[in-house]
Amino acid sequence: MARRVLSAARMTLKIESAFDGKTATLRLCGRIEGDHLDAIQAEIRRFLPQLVFDLGEATLVDREVVCFLAAQEVEGVVLVDCPRYIREWIARERSQECSFNPAEEETEL
């Protein structure tokens, strides 16, 4: 199943999902921004507990997404085909104790 999520800047994130009966893989393609996190979290809720993010076609991410990916990895989500710049950015953010708490984000609105 594939869906497209449009952001205000009209850039598109494509989310493809596959489930083999045991593990779900979410393939995140294109530019991923903080505005897309609600759609990604909705997909996560559908497929927990075994989840993989395939980032092989991710072209650009922002800091909010990097913190989100770092938090998801701590929760057990596996990142595959993660571009090197994203992997290095996650490592830098972890060393600076980057945190992502969706509950905090919701209460600020």
What residue type is 57 in one-letter code? E
Residue 48: the pLDDT is 75
Is the bond leading into 102 cis (omega within 30 degrees of zero)?
A: no
- Residue pair 31/57 in contact (Cβ under 8 Å)? The answer is no
**What domains can be seen in the chain, in order of their start residue?**
2-108 (3.30.750.24)
Residue 98: the pLDDT is 67
Query: What per-residue string of b and e applies to 20-59 under the rule 16 or more CB within 10 Å gives b?
Result: eeeebbbbbbbbbbbbbbeebeebbeebeeebbbbbeebe
pLDDT classification of 96: cutoffs 50, 70, 90: confident
Residue 103: the pLDDT is 45
Residue 89: the pLDDT is 94
Give the residue-averaged pLDDT of 49-72: 92
What residue type is 24 in one-letter code? A
- At 24-39, the pLDDT tens digits run 999 999 999 999 999 9
* Residue ranges in 1-109 assigned as alpha helix (H): 37-47, 63-74, 84-95, 102-108
H-run or E-run covering 59: strand 58-61
Give the residue-averaged pLDDT of 40-57: 88
